[in-house]
A and B are shown apart, each in its own frame.
Chain A
Amino acid sequence: MIEIKLPEGAEREAARQRFAENVTSQDLADGSVMENQPASISASRLYAHAMALDPAPDGALEAALSSNLALRRTYREFQRVASMYQLADVIAASSEAIPVRRGVGCQISVEASQAEADQFIIVVELDGGADAPAPELLLLCDEADHCHRFPLPKAHRGVVQFIVQADNPIMTLLRDPRTQALLR
């Protein structure tokens, strides 16, 4: 019996990177890229899409992002560099609880609504209060490097707050401790 020890941490990240590179090189070698990808995505196009707060719909780029891990990772890196707040990874206390995400200068928490059982309130609190630069976009990047964008309402008294229904995708992402949160 062969025992395979799964790598962790940096080793795991490095393995994922190698895997992504291998897949890309194989796709290039056997021509599947040309068959499956309707159009190539330039770096500038990807960058412009990543930097826009409200990007115009780009079906080709989104299709490429959903199928191309390297492209997704590049996209995620663009977002990380451009973000004003990065929140640290969290450890879930239980399957039900939604962990509080803390970062330098801010934190994100989720409160269950006392009025409506199927609603939650997402609260982004900035340590600098009303004087702190207010983010306009919440990015939640999952384990597969898919980054989901959620436009934020205007901050008030250093707090950004909005209500979501329980079945909103943001709740799934926030429940997952492996999701990375970025604020731009």
Chain B
Amino acid sequence: MKDVAIFALTTGGLVQIQRITHERAPLSMMVVGRGSERLSISDRYDDFVYPGGGPVERFFGPFPKGGFRLEVSDPINSGDSWQLAAFMAHAVLADEACHLCRDVDEADTILCLTGLVDFDGLVGGVGHIPEKLHAARSKLNEWQAAGRSPIIVVPSGPDHERALAADITEGISVLAGINVADLGRDFGIPFGQGEIAAVEAVQPQPKRRRPWELVLMALVLAVGAYVFLSQPEPAPPPVKVARETPPPEKPPEIKPTVVKPPVAKPPPVKSSTVIPAVEKPAIPLAPAIKLPEPNIQVSAPPKPNPPIPKARRTPPVQELFTPKPTIPKPTRPKAVAAPPTTQPPPPPNPVSLAVLERHAPHGYQCEHVYFGKAQADVLAVPLLGPQQAKPSEGLSLCGLLLRMELGEMPVYAMVKVEMLQGRMVGTRHPPSDLSGRRLVKGRRDWSIDLPFLGTGPVRYRLTLVTSTKPIRDDRPADGGELKTASLLHEISR
């Protein structure tokens, strides 16, 4: 029997889900402890577990007639970020091999979760992550000091990035939740197989393509790659590259050879068969796109990089759920590990900067782009000089995408935008991992909006500072060396 203590991360602190009981009364209720006060948020909880209304019944139902009584340690007055914790508590309740424990000292596993859960089991963002972690800090530190290893689960994406940027005690795992089926599998709390399959079927997955589509796509890619490679330099006018895509963890490589196999030898598979080897290169948009050459090369990239040491891996959650004595010390997934000290220092990274314009697509306005109703069209801005980009203009210009290519070797990087004229939205909040205090690598994008009102000219300087040592107050620690790249850009609207 595995004892699991589940807490909801709230801005008021950690709220433990102490017990769930099935009641004959029709409405599900949330109450404080063993008391009789029904919290006002009970209606939301009822919607969450009611048949056809929420994911709990879909995954763990059908339930007998009646509702649930969910007991929490402290009141929750508003919001829905308790959903992920409540869902996992129901998962524990449904699993005969698990027990939802009230006493934390008896728990084999301590889970602290926040996030929304939709009907398909996808975990949605909630916000206020720094405040929630700050409110939970004392308890987390207390458990950590007692040799416990609480696991924090936040929604993937911005919430996870903010959680990683927060100052959390070393040794506490911060995991990104994408969907509950994966979380359940990772935590060793299996759900009903049929339900999981049903949910996985509606997960956003890459579209399966038929063989002739693959052949056609490969042909187009091959032609595109040939045209791209045969051009000596990018054309001066802005080149439309692609719809805005989230920054991948690893910068995609442009390898025209990857498209050859399907052209020369189409895979002999049926249309219903999954074709992993062929599909994967075709999925990301970036390799198929004519990307502009990086605007600025900071350091010479002649020497190939030596083999890259593998980053420290976050231990699989399954490992964290083994019985107490054998729980391996979870590593913090927020930082990429430094290269081993025994190896010679690697050659410097080719670090580069680029500016891309974000335009409202045809038929849409900038407010659609700002509020995620439409994906922006992204246009690369060519260079006028070594550190100056061509001025941008246009009525459909909604914002910029500042792109930093940091190479394959982890470095400490700090980026900032210095406003010389006019204003833009969000220039004081660079990506959290580009604060100079964490090792980063690959591509990083920083999306900045232009103000909706005030159409005057805007001039700014984008500066990227990298070092092999952490950067504090614009200086590297312990005598590390700084490398700086900057780019001047002007916008007239």
Contacts and interface: CB of A to CB of B under 8 A. Distances in A.
Interface stretch (B21-29, B279-287, B447-455, B480-488): B21-29
A153 B38 contact: yes
A111 B25 contact: yes
Contacts of A112: 24
B23 A111 contact: yes
Interface residues of B, number: 20
B36 A161 contact: no
A24 interface: no
Interface string A21-33: 0000000000000
Interface stretch (A34-42, A116-124, A172-180): A116-124
B38 A163 contact: yes
A157 interface: yes
A156 interface: yes
Contacts of B25: 111, 121, 123, 161
A94 B34 CA distance: 29
Contacts of A115: 19, 21, 23, 34, 69, 71
Contacts of A165: 36
B164 interface: no
A116 B34 contact: yes
B412 interface: no
A116 B29 CA distance: 14
B120 interface: no
Contacts of B19: 115
Interface of B: 19, 21-27, 29, 31, 34, 36-38, 42-43, 46, 50, 69, 71
A179 to B, nearest CB: 21
Q: Looking at A112, A113, A153, which has the most chain B CB atoms within 10 Å of its CB?
A: A113
A162 B29 CA distance: 9
Q: Looking at B19, B23, B42, which has the most chain A CB atoms within 10 Å of its CB?
A: B23
Contacts of A145: none
B17 to A, nearest CB: 14
Q: Give me the 5 closest cross-chain CB pairs, A-B, nearest first.
A: A115-B21, A163-B36, A121-B25, A156-B43, A161-B27
B21 A159 contact: no
Interface in A102-160: 111-116, 119, 121, 123, 125, 153-154, 156-157, 159
Contacts of B38: 153, 161-163
Given A114-B69, A156-B27, 12 more contacts: A111-B25, A116-B34, A119-B36, A121-B24, A121-B25, A123-B25, A125-B26, A154-B43, A157-B46, A157-B50, A163-B36, A163-B37
